[in-house]
Chains A and B, each alone.
Chain A
C-alpha cells in the first residue's frame, strides 16, 4: 500500500497536497463538496437526535450524494479532476 500525493497550487497560488492511496483506487472523491446535513424536520426538536423517519430520509440523501461523487480510477483521472476544479498540478510524490 503506497500513499501518494499530488502537489498543487490553487487559483491564488496557495500550495496544496492531495493525498490518495493507490491500493484503494478506484475510489470516490468528494471534490471538496460537503455532504448533506440533517434538515430540522429530520430531528427530534427536544434531543437533537434523528427521528427514525428522519434518519432514513437523511441516509437516502447522503447515499444519493455519495453516488453522485466522481469515481477516480487512476492518478491521471484525479489530476484531471483537480484541474477541472481550478488547481494547477505541480508535481507528484510518494510518502517516504
Chain B
C-alpha cells in the first residue's frame, strides 16, 4: 500500500518522534509591528484545525508569544485580519518548539493584508530586503526653525524626498540653513549647507530628491532655483539627495545654525522615507 501524501516534512510526525515532548509542541511567534494589527495563526494537524490570534504593540518591539498545539502541525499559515496592512509594517517569525526549545524555523518575512507566510514550504526574507513602505513625515509647527527627525527603534530609513519652506521674521540676521544626517551619538555623517543664506523678511522653498527638479517654470523665469513665494531667482533651489540608509537612532536635522530667530521663524518640512523593519 502506497504511503499517504504528506504535507509537512515526513520526519516531523508524532509517530516517528517517540518521546513525550513530541506530543506537546508549541508554535512561537516573533513579531515586530509598526501599526495596530491582529495577527492570525492558523493551521491543521492530523486531527483538526487550530487557530490563534495576537495583537502586537505598535512600537516595532519584538514580542514572542507561544501557542500550544495538540500535536505537530501539518500546515501553518500566518497572516493578518486587519486591513490595510502594507508591506513593511508587520514582520514576523514562526518557529516550532519541542520540549521548550526552538527546533525548526518555519518562516519569516513581512505579512500584509494580501500576503501570508505559509509552511510548508516556508519563506525566509530579511526585513530590509526588497521594497519598504513609503511614509510621509511632516512637521507642521510654526515658530520653530530647528527640526529633528529620528529613525524609530528597529527601523531603517532611506530618504526619497525632502521639502522645506522657510519664512523668516523681520528680525535682522543671516540665517545659516543646514541639514545634517547624524548617527545615534549625534555625530554628523553627512550634511548640506545652503549657499544662499536667507535674511529677514523672506520666504524660501527648498526641495531635495534623487534628481533635482524645477521649482518654478514661468516664462522668462525658467530656471532651477526660482522662489515660488517671491518670484526671486536663485533664492530657492532643488538639490540631489544622498542615498544613505539610516539605522535606528540616526536622525536628520534641518535648522538655522545661526539661530537668528529660532522660536519665531517658520520652518515647515515634509519628507518621504522608504522604511523597513530592521531586527
Contact = CB atoms under 8 A, between A and B. Distances in A.
Nearest to B251: A95
A24 B89 contact: no
Given A3-B148, A90-B36, A21 B135 contact: no
Interface string B231-273: 1110000000000000011010000000000010010100000
Contact of A15 (B59, B133, B153, B221): B133
Interface residues of chain B: helix, strand, loop or mixed (majority): loop
B142 A91 contact: no
A49 B167 contact: no
A93 B138 contact: no
Contact of A30 (B134, B137, B140, B248): B140
Interface string B129-156: 0000111111111111001111111000
A15 B137 CA distance: 9
A57 B35 CA distance: 46
A42 B236 CA distance: 18
A15 B136 contact: yes
Nearest to A1: B148
A15 B229 contact: no
Given A13-B84, A95-B251, A27 B137 contact: no
B81 interface: no
Contacts of A28: 141-143
B249 A59 contact: no
Contacts of A90: 35-36, 58
B230 A48 contact: yes
A29 B150 CA distance: 20
Contact of B140 (A32, A50, A58): A32
Contacts of A55: 201
Contacts of A38: 203, 229-231
B36 A15 contact: no
A67 to B, nearest CB: 10
Contacts of A20: 139, 141
Contact of A93 (B59, B142, B233): B59
Interface in B150-178: 150-153, 165, 167, 170
A24 B221 CA distance: 38
Given A24-B141, A49-B232, 16 more contacts: A13-B86, A17-B138, A19-B149, A24-B263, A29-B141, A31-B140, A37-B228, A37-B229, A43-B230, A48-B227, A59-B201, A66-B266, A93-B59, A93-B152, A95-B148, A95-B251
Interface of A: 3, 5, 7, 9, 13-21, 24, 27-32, 34-35, 37-38, 40, 43, 47-50, 55, 58-59, 62, 66, 69, 72, 90-91, 93, 95-96
Nearest 5 pairs of A and B residues by beta carbon: A95-B150, A91-B58, A13-B84, A28-B142, A37-B229
